[in-house]
Amino acid sequence: MERFEPMVAIDVDTKEAALKLFDQLAGDTNHTPIVKIGMELYYAFGPGIVKQAKQRGLAVFLDLKSYDIPNTVHRAMRVIGKLGVRYTTTHAAGGTEMLKAAKEGLVEGAHEAGLPEPKLLEITELTSIDENILKNEQHVDLPLIDVVKNYAQVAERAGLDGVICSAQEVEAIRTVTKPDFLCVTPGIRPNLSVHDDQKRVVTPAQARKLGSNGIVVGRPITQSDNPVAAYQAIRQAFMEGEE
Ligand code: C5P
């Protein structure tokens, strides 16, 4: 099963803090950490922040969660495809036509720039959505897990590479998707007693056992006194299964 380096969520609000983390992570020359750049950093600093990460030899997961009409998403993804990122995201709720347009735009942009095609991951339901919101606001009368499984199948049929989901959902998703479909899981804590605002967390080794292809880890690395040591310990646990 494909398993990739932990993705470090760079959730900081200044360029200096982001660049410091990039420098620290890039100092680990034995591995190529993947940094997750989200809306906050990207909206503030633009494509330049992606370039800064890449210049340091880091791989980039650009998590912008595109969600709009198919034509707009196609055009946006074409731009992302030219940035040389390794992973990016879009929303299940946009429907099959939008998902296909996203993938096409991304591939088109990458080809135009002569770059490898980034992997496109689908956001199924945000973890901030619970059964109550699903039923009473979205008027969906199915259990959340069935909605997530369905969205994973929709993503696969539309040609996407995988989904972002909770580690607890991986097993169920694997029952309805092909073996090479990717499941990337946030909500990771090396020490389960420190879970911040995450409600259901698993350790890196548990995520490995549950079948995650990749993990997204933010604060346990970025707020550590020694982010490189924290990264290496989490990497070891996830990649090698050592607690
Ligand atoms: O600091 P922490 O490890 O909780 O950060 C997790 C990262 O994963 C954050 O960037 C958060 O936005 C993201 N994420 C998440 N749950 C999802 C999707 C993304 O925690 N379902």
Confidence of residue 107 (pLDDT cuts 50, 70, 90): very high
Q: CB count, 10 Å around CB of 38?
A: 17
pLDDT, position 191: 85
Number of domains in the chain: 1
In a domain? residue 156: yes
How confident is the model over 150-207, as pLDDT tens digits? 999 999 999 999 999 999 999 999 999 999 999 999 999 998 878 777 777 899 999 9
Q: Look up the CATH number of the domain holding residue 229.
A: 3.20.20.70
In a domain? residue 13: yes
pLDDT, position 29: 75
- Residue 198 Cβ inside 6 Å of ligand 1? The answer reads yes
Examine the pLDDT at 94 and tell me if it is beyond 80: yes
CA–CA gap between residue 216 and residue 184 (Å, rounded): 7
Q: CB count, 10 Å around CB of 189?
A: 19
pLDDT, position 242: 67
In a domain? residue 1: no
Query: For 124-136, what is the mean pLDDT?
Result: 88
Range of the domain at 230: 7-239
**Share of residues in the chain with pLDDT > 90 (%):** 88
CA–CA gap between residue 88 and residue 156 (Å, rounded): 15
Residue 72 assigned as binding residue:
yes
Examine the pLDDT at 132 and tell me if it is beyond 80: yes
Examine the pLDDT at 243 and tell me if it is beyond 80: no
Examine the pLDDT at 105 and tell me if it is beyond 90: yes
Query: For 23-51, what is the mean pLDDT?
Result: 93
How confident is the model over 64-78, as pLDDT tens digits? 999 999 999 999 999
Instruction: Name the residue with higher pLDDT: 118 or 192.
Output: 118
Phi, psi of 163 (to 5 degrees): -135, 160
Query: For 81-96, what is the mean pLDDT?
Result: 97
Residue 186 assigned as binding residue:
no
Examine the pLDDT at 47 and tell me if it is beyond 90: yes
In a domain? residue 109: yes
Cα separation values, 168 from 178, 183, 209, Å: 18, 11, 11
How confident is the model over 135-147, as pLDDT tens digits? 999 999 999 999 9
In a domain? residue 2: no
Question: Ligand 1: which atom is nearest the Cα of residue 219?
Answer: 1
Instruction: Name the residue with higher pLDDT: 35 or 192.
Output: 35
Residue 146 assigned as binding residue:
no
Contact indicator for 5, 59 with CB cutoff of 8 Å: yes
In a domain? residue 48: yes
- Residue 9 Cβ inside 6 Å of ligand 1? The answer reads yes
- Residue 127 Cβ inside 6 Å of ligand 1? The answer reads yes
Contact indicator for 108, 99 with CB cutoff of 8 Å: no
In a domain? residue 215: yes
Nearest protein CA to atom 8 of ligand 1, as residue: 186
